[in-house]
Amino acid sequence: MKNTWIIARKELKSYFASPIAYLLIAFFALIFGFGFYTATRDFVRFSFQAQMMGRGFPMNINEQIIRPLLGFASTVALFVIPMITMRLFAEEKRTGTIELLMTSPVRDIEIILGKWGAAMALYTSILVVSAANVGILFAFGQPDWQPVLVGYLGLLLQGGTLLAIGAFISTTTRNQIIAGGVTFFVCLLLWLMSWFTAFDTGWWAQVVSYLSIVTHFDTFAKGVLDSRDVVFYLSMTFFALFITSRSMESLRWRA
């Protein structure tokens, strides 16, 4: 546990020692801010129109701003995650520092959890900075706060799974660019898989759509805390971290 913390701290320091952390935070804040701006502008326009027409059109901030915004954030996160995970193991393999970690009295799983934990922390700070936008809604309106929390929990769970998958991919190469590229491709593929139910309603489309990480986010975006989806994310994260540890083990046999 202590070792995990030592490694996580080192990883976080190197994220923030290079421009990468600040760039990602800025990039995400900008895109999220744009999404927030359009969603809020449309909401305000609609509510004016509804008033002028004299119809009591039920307007709901949670349903009309926060829900699409969270969905948007979950998609943008797919682009951010490869950039967080690509260097985790690939860089250590390239510079040879992996030899230091693997010959220190530390378990492989502690190294993996430390690195994944640091990636989670960076991802969380990216979300926290962007949450300033949502804060504005609370300052000028009265949205329900529970669905917002559930939505953010969903973003964290989805991010945790994808970060674990990215960490696994990073153990398979010593080239950061390849690790980032492949992770990006996998994220894109998962996103595309979520559309399969639109083409076909057969059982296989259901399966493909179920396996797409992104589909499970919908319930969270609605503000519904469904244990099935929580279990799905947690078990996927666990599985990805497990194959990461197998991959690290195989480094010893092949290296």
Partner 1 sequence: MIKVEGLTKRYARNVAVDDISFQVAKGQIVGFLGPNGAGKTTTMRVLTCFLPPTAGKASVAGFDVLEQPLEVKRRIGYLPETPPLYPEMEVDEYLTFVGKLKGIPSREVPRRVEEVVERCAIGEVRKRLISKLSKGYRQRVGLAQAIIHNPDVLIMDEPTSGLDPKQIIETRSLIRSLAGDHTIILSTHILSEVEQSCEQVIIISRGKLVATDSVENLTNRLRGSEAVAVEVASPGGSLNEGEVQTRLEQVAGVSRVLPKGARDGHATFEVESLQGRQVRAELARAVVGAGWDLIELRTVGLSLEEIFLQLTESESKEKDAAVAVEGAQ
- Residue 18 as a binder of partner 1 (CB under 8 A): the answer is yes
Residue 29 engages partner 1 in binding (rule: CB under 8 A): no
CA distance 163 to 218: 19
Q: Looking at the chain, how many residues does it have? A: 255
Q: Is 255 in the site for partner 1 (CB under 8 A)?
A: yes
Q: Is 107 in the site for partner 1 (CB under 8 A)?
A: yes
**250 is a contact residue toward partner 1 (CB under 8 A):** no
Does 246 sit near partner 1 (CB under 8 A)?
no
- Asked whether position 59 contacts partner 1 by CB under 8 A, the answer is no
Residues 6+ apart with CB under 8 A from 1: 110
Shortest reach from residue 25's CB to partner 1, in Å = 18
List Cα–Cα distances, 143 to 37, 119, 203, in angstroms. Answer: 17, 30, 38
x-marked contacts with partner 1 along 83-102 as a string, rule CB under 8 A:
------------xxxxxxxx
DSSP state of 66: I
Residue with tokens 């030592």: 6
Amino acid letter, residue 100: L
Nearer to partner 1, 139 or 255 (CB): 255
- State yes or no: residue 174 binds partner 1 (CB under 8 A): no
User: Of the two residues 17 and 139, which places its CB atom closer to partner 1 in the complex?
Assistant: 17
What percent of the chain is helix, strand and coil (3-state, nearest 5)?
85, 0, 15
Closest CA to 20 of 73, 78, 84: 84
- The answer to the question of residue 1 lying near partner 1 (CB under 8 A) is no
109 lines the binding site for partner 1 (CB under 8 A): no
In the complex, the residues that contact partner 1 under the rule CB under 8 A are: 3, 6-7, 10, 13-14, 17-18, 95-107, 252-255
